[in-house]
Copies of this chain bind each other. A is one copy, B any other.
Amino acid sequence: MNVQLHDCFGKKEAVLKSTLSLVGKQGFHGTPMSQIAKNAGVAAGTIYHYFPSKGALISELYIYVKDRMAKAIIDGDDPSKSYKERFFAVMVSQYRFYVENPDSMNFLEQYINSPYAQEYAHLESQLFVEKVITFFKYGIENAYFKNIDPRLLAPTIRGTLVAAASFQLSQHMLFSDEDINEVVSIIWDGIKRQ
């Protein structure tokens, strides 16, 4: 009985997780709704109770994943530290999120370059905007960074972190804290005001 209470959003979340796991590996087109359903343990029609279409499911998953990433990123932030220290901590958190959630990383990379991102361009994780983007804006406004348009900053950072995380995953390597710091310093040195 109590399980039910905890489970009241169970099917919707099961569908989201199923989609994330499959799309991360097979791509949008390679992942039929029927497989998503089977993998989630629900009937194909059930998906359509929660999401009006495959596109809507994908775009809602985008918010879902971005929210989780934002939480993971912000978790490592300690506002009492210096901005540079905070920046490094935030970057390390994002890097770790990618490495620990490769499906999420693959999904996000695919989403960004897909027609869904255009069609559902108005949908964005509020948490990510409020916390992460705000954090970067602070760095820009307080002249820690070069005078870069903030819309350029985000993909630049993402590109480097994704490249490093993909590399680590594909090589089945373990990166030491120092290795990760090295990666983040590529970003920091690139964008910091010299």
Tell whether, in the assembled complex, residue B148 and residue A159 are in contact, meaning their CB atoms are under 8 Å apart.
Answer: no
Q: Does A126 contact B (CB under 8 A)?
A: no
**Range, interface on chain A:** 35 or more
Q: Does A162 contact B (CB under 8 A)?
A: yes
Q: Shortest Cβ distance from A61 into chain B, in angstroms?
A: 16
Q: Shortest Cβ distance from A185 into chain B, in angstroms?
A: 8
Tell whether, in the assembled complex, residue A29 and residue B28 are in contact, meaning their CB atoms are under 8 Å apart.
Answer: yes
Q: Which of A64-72, A77-85, A130-138, A186-194 contacts B (4 or more CB under 8 A)?
A: A186-194
Q: Which of A1-9, A12-20, A95-103, A108-116 contacts B (4 or more CB under 8 A)?
A: A108-116
Q: Shortest Cβ distance from A36 into chain B, in angstroms?
A: 16
Q: When A and B form their complex, which 9 residue pairs have the shortest distance between CB atoms, in order from nearest? A: A159-B159, A190-B190, A155-B163, A29-B29, A186-B190, A156-B160, A109-B113, A189-B190, A156-B163
Q: A residues engaging B (CB < 8 A)?
A: 26-30, 106, 109-110, 113-115, 146-149, 151-152, 154-156, 158-160, 162-164, 166-167, 182-183, 185-192, 194
